[in-house]
A = this chain, B = another copy of it.
Amino acid sequence: MLKKLTDEQLGQILERATEEFSVNGPERATIKSIAGAADVSVGVIYKYYEDKDALFEACLSRSLGMLTECLSRAGEEGKSLMDICENLIRMAQRFATEHPAHIRMYHAITMDTDAGRMEKYAREIESVSAKIYTEYFANAVEAGLVRKDLNPAAFAFFFDNLLMMLHFSYGCGYYRERLSVFCGEDADRDEMLVKQLLLFLKGGFGIA
């Protein structure tokens, strides 16, 4: 049997490794502790992944896949721009709260020391949302749904920036703290943020 490890076990390794990587940082996370957390031997990790870096990349891909899948679902339902925005905002809040480790992996590539990989992922991940949002804005301009003088690419960028920061603000330590500094920790804070962000975007986009 060439593959004794079940898919479940393989997923378990990635899940635990993601956890370790996101909690202690890619450098401080050790293969031994990952193996321990995933309840497998050190050797088995090296059987499936070339080295620690390859394991990190596998975790990264998986996390980004989950995030992307989630986001793509938000836009599926062909509603109005503001509805889609609301979906995306709520999804960001929910996903980052439920899967902070995955958001932290996303955040981790932004600090990658491997420039090549960083670039690769930047193109891979961001070009999807860039394309979708930009087209959406371009169409919206033509349809007269938003202000005429906006640059679709720039507005897509601003919008994605706000969404990305939202993800981090719910998933990553520093940004979480920062959100508290700005908006406190009221029970209704998250709902308030949805409303306010929609308000801000609506105005920004020039939607009547």
**Interface residues in chain A, defined as those with a beta carbon under 8 Å from any beta carbon in chain B:** 23-25, 27-28, 107-113, 115, 118-119, 121-123, 126-127, 130, 134, 147, 149-151, 153-158, 160-162, 164-166, 168-169, 172-175, 177-179, 181-184, 192-193, 196-197, 199-201, 203-206
Contacts and interface: CB of A to CB of B under 8 A. Distances in A.
A111 B113 contact: no
A196 B154 contact: yes
A200 B204 contact: yes
B111 A177 contact: no
Nearest to A175: B110
A126 B200 contact: no
Given A109-B174, A150-B196, A134 B204 contact: no
Contacts of A118: 173-174, 177
Contacts of A201: 204
Contacts of A110: 107, 168, 172-175
A80 to B, nearest CB: 17
Top 5 closest pairs, chain A to chain B, by CB: A204-B204, A122-B177, A27-B27, A154-B196, A161-B165
A124 to B, nearest CB: 10
B182 A130 contact: yes
27 contacts: A25-B113, A27-B28, A28-B113, A107-B110, A109-B174, A111-B174, A118-B174, A118-B177, A119-B173, A126-B178, A126-B181, A130-B182, A147-B199, A147-B203, A151-B196, A153-B183, A154-B197, A155-B200, A157-B182, A158-B196, A158-B197, A160-B182, A161-B161, A161-B166, A165-B165, A201-B204, A204-B204
Contacts of A182: 126, 130, 134, 153-154, 156-157, 160
A150 B200 contact: yes
Contacts of A134: 182
A198 B10 CA distance: 48
A174 B112 contact: yes
